[in-house]
Amino acid sequence: MSDIINILPDSVANQIAAGEVVDRPASAVKELLENAMDAGATNIQLIVKDAGRTLIQVIDNGCGMSDSDARLCFERHATSKIHKADDLFAIRTMGFRGEALASIAAIAQVELKTRQADNELGTQVEIEGSTVKDQHPCSCPVGTSLAIKNLFYNVPARRNFLKKDTIELSHIEEVFRRITLIHNDISFSFHSNGRLLYDLRADTMLQRVCQLFGDAYKDRLFPVEEESDVVSIKGYVAKAEYAKRTRGEQYLFVNGRFIKHPMLTAAIEKAYTDMIPESYHPPFFVSLSVDPSRMDVNIHPTKTEVRFVDESPMFAILRAVTKKALGQYSLASEIEFNPSTEFDFSPAPKDYMPQTPRINYNPNYNPFSSQKSGNQTNRHADNLTPSAGMHGWEDFFDEKKQTSEQPDIRKSENPTIQSSDCFQILNSYIACPTPDGLLIVDQRLAHERILFERLSSHEKPLAAQQLLFPVNCQFSAADADIFEEMMGDLIHSGFAIERMKGSNVFVVSATPDELSDSELQELLDTLIRECKGAMMEKFVDRRTRLFMTIARRMSVKSQKPLCQEEMQQIINDLRNCSMSTVAPGGETISTILTAEKIGQLMNA
């Protein structure tokens, strides 16, 4: 029987390793940026074309490489940081495995130019599919330029799994943020398809946050800082009122490396207990310094997962320092350190006699007089009488008809449902007596269905309210491009929006009725997130999800009192909907309580 076990060629082994290290263009960007920082660069340029499919190039002014190192760096497990196994537990650099460049070279066409400061000429290496095509001297500045062209050109199956350019670019941008946030002492620039997205100068961490997320963050964050034998903490946490529904702006770093650690994230969020709703999450930008021997970063190919020896003490310290910052700075903002001294406490003159207060009243006023208009008193009295809004109850108790759980209100042309018939239950449900029973309509879901069908019909835009002062909304570069694609649908939804030329800022001058300025940025962030989700799911229509989100946010809320005209308008509009029984999200809008059901409840 012949042997069946073979040793894989290096080219195949590198392609397999590439599946672990480089699963999309953003992964290659991460590896190249980390290598540039490890080279001691103070200025790094990132250039991509077609969201990294066509080109990913990183140019740095670091130490550069010699001729032999320029060739050797593409060999598997070639690294300058590890010499023995114990070095794995004393790592303070970013890249150390020695797999990244070998893996990238196996699935792309790579061009490397590098020069050291004491050499007049540099060296250029060209590799394609792990095969060295050429190496020769070249003229280039000190540092390294590494260009990755046609990523996954020889692995078409993996290339076919890449998402739209907007999605892949957003992943690249997220990697760029994770690296540039913590390495604020380095200048970075980011170009996409010839357009400058970011130009970050070396500055403080707070300024770097503002450079990436907008100047508004300068007033949204509290500093946190603590030194201990277990961990050193430094960074910023958001004020409670700026908590969001997603965790998109939570950045945790350990020894200069972005990590995902649910336990430490929970420590920060626990500090906000009773300050924010359960479904909200606070943004934070926190850096931890830990003795490398007390942690292990070598448990995941992308090195985003970390194990700590002292996890429980770190949890307690991180929670305590966050709670301290929230209490200390929140209290300080409420205290008035310069109290007003405008009050006059000088003594009254010696013979001063204060005047007796006088009460003016109409002696002819009689609150029980029949001459008084009864509009005000009758209005309150009508609301208290059992007959108010109860027309048709006789039919309700006499007929005792059974109906379906989800009545189609379009078929109910009952003339007895008039404005005076409808009334609210718990300020959340509209109740209408009918010959079939008591019709119960969820006011929020009904209004959501009405708005959704109005938006989807494209007959006419929703009513808009002009803002007294236009609001500037700033997004990341990738999100700004996604938002621009949605602008047509948003204008139809009642917004007036214009993008400022050459920036990622959008000026909103009008919004749908009842949308407050404080809700605007959160709504737009939610729309972008929903749009991204629709792009990731092949069978979800982006426009449908967009209109569902707007309708859900703009619908009348539960616990809101409605007047008779408002209740009747919802009922009439719901009748005209093509699907009046369920909301866009699938929830049941209405039901009918028959006399039999009420009897069963009473006798239960």
- Tell me which residue of 210, 192, 59, 58 sits closest to 201, measured CA to CA: 210
Average pLDDT across the chain, whole number = 79
What was the pLDDT predicted at 373? 42
What was the pLDDT predicted at 521? 77
Q: What is the pLDDT of residues 172-229, one digit of tens each?
A: 999 999 999 999 999 999 999 999 999 999 999 999 999 998 888 888 899 999 998 8
The answer to whether 205 touches 285, Cβ cutoff 8 Å, is yes
Distance CA 501, CA 508 (A): 14
Three-state secondary structure call for residue 553: helix
Q: What architecture (CATH level 2) is domain 206-333? A: 2-Layer Sandwich (3.30)
What was the pLDDT predicted at 411? 53
The answer to whether 86 touches 100, Cβ cutoff 8 Å, is no
Model confidence at 20: pLDDT above 80: no
- 414-419: long-range contacts (C-beta < 8 A, 24 or more apart)? 416/391, 416/392, 417/392, 417/571, 418/391, 418/568, 419/564, 419/565, 419/567, 419/568
User: Which band of pLDDT confidence, cut at 50, 70 and 90, is reported for residue 87?
Assistant: very low
What was the pLDDT predicted at 204? 94
288-312 mean pLDDT: 76
- Tell me which residue of 447, 443, 388, 439 sits closest to 559, measured CA to CA: 443
Model confidence at 132: pLDDT above 70: yes
Domain 10-202 bears CATH identifier 3.30.565.10:
yes
The answer to whether 387 touches 395, Cβ cutoff 8 Å, is no
Q: Six-digit token pair at 83? A: 């010499």
Distance CA 433, CA 414 (A): 10
What was the pLDDT predicted at 342? 45
Model confidence at 284: pLDDT above 60: yes
Rounding to the nearest 10 degrees, give the CA dihedral for residues 74, 39, 29, 263: 110
Which helix (H) or strand (E) is 16 found in, with range? Answer: helix 10-21
What was the pLDDT predicted at 422? 85
Q: What secondary structure letter does DSSP report for 84?
A: S
Q: What is the pLDDT of residues 69-84, one digit of tens each?
A: 888 888 865 555 544 4
What was the pLDDT predicted at 504? 83
Three-state secondary structure call for residue 521: helix
What was the pLDDT predicted at 266? 93
Distance CA 338, CA 341 (A): 9
What was the pLDDT predicted at 134? 93
Distance CA 574, CA 417 (A): 13
Model confidence at 404: pLDDT above 50: no
Return the domain boundaries, the chain. 10-202, 206-333, 387-604
What was the pLDDT predicted at 576? 86
Q: Do domains 10-202 and 387-604 have the same CATH topology?
A: no
Distance CA 284, CA 272 (A): 12
User: Which band of pLDDT confidence, cut at 50, 70 and 90, is reported for residue 468?
Assistant: confident
The answer to whether 254 touches 295, Cβ cutoff 8 Å, is yes
More confident residue, 203 or 293: 203
Distance CA 274, CA 251 (A): 22
Q: What is the pLDDT of residues 480-537, one digit of tens each?
A: 888 888 888 888 888 899 988 878 889 999 888 767 666 787 788 888 887 776 666 6
End-to-end CA distance of the chain: 78
Model confidence at 47: pLDDT above 60: yes
Work out whether strand 131-138 and strand 505-512 pair parallel, antiparallel, or are unpaired.
Answer: unpaired
What was the pLDDT predicted at 224? 94
Work out whether strand 250-254 and strand 284-289 pair parallel, antiparallel, or are unpaired.
Answer: parallel
The share of the chain scoring above pLDDT 70, in percent, equals: 74
Q: Six-digit token pair at 71? A: 């060739």
The answer to whether 197 touches 191, Cβ cutoff 8 Å, is yes
Q: Six-digit token pair at 106? A: 């196996």
Which helix (H) or strand (E) is 146 found in, with range? Answer: strand 143-149
The answer to whether 129 touches 11, Cβ cutoff 8 Å, is yes
Segment among 24-38, 153-167, 174-188 with least mean pLDDT: 153-167
DSSP 298-340: TTSTTS---EETTHHHHHHHHHHHHHHHHHHHHHHHH--SS--
What was the pLDDT predicted at 6? 59
Model confidence at 88: pLDDT above 70: no
Model confidence at 413: pLDDT above 50: no
Q: What secondary structure letter does DSSP report for 202?
A: S
Count the Cβ atoms, other than its own, within 10 Å of residue 178: 19
Distance CA 318, CA 326 (A): 12
Count the Cβ atoms, other than its own, within 10 Å of residue 121: 12
Determine if the pTM surpasses 0.75. no
Note the Cα 40 to chain centre separation in Å. Answer: 33
User: Which band of pLDDT confidence, cut at 50, 70 and 90, is reported for residue 140?
Assistant: very high
- Cα 530 to Cα 14, 166, 479, 524, 537: the distances in Å are 37, 14, 12, 10, 11
Furthest-apart CA atoms within the chain: distance in Å: 126
Q: Is 312 exposed, middle or buried (0-12, 13-18, 19+ CB in 10 A)?
A: exposed
What was the pLDDT predicted at 551? 87
More confident residue, 576 or 93: 576
Q: Give exposure, 504-523, as e/b (b: 16+ Cβ within 10 Å).
A: bebebebbbeebeeeebbeb
The share of the chain scoring above pLDDT 90, in percent, equals: 32
Residue whose structure tokens are 């709703």: 277
What was the pLDDT predicted at 336? 41
What is the residue type of 413?
E
Q: In the chain, helix, strand, coil percent, each to 5? A: 40, 20, 40
Tally of helices (H runs) and strands (E runs) in the chain: 17, 22
HEC per residue, 99-122: CHHHHHHHCCEEEEEEECCCCCCE
Q: Which CATH class is domain 387-604?
A: alpha beta
Three-state secondary structure call for residue 137: strand
Q: What is the pLDDT of residues 530-580, one digit of tens each?
A: 777 666 665 457 788 888 888 888 888 888 888 888 898 898 889 888 888
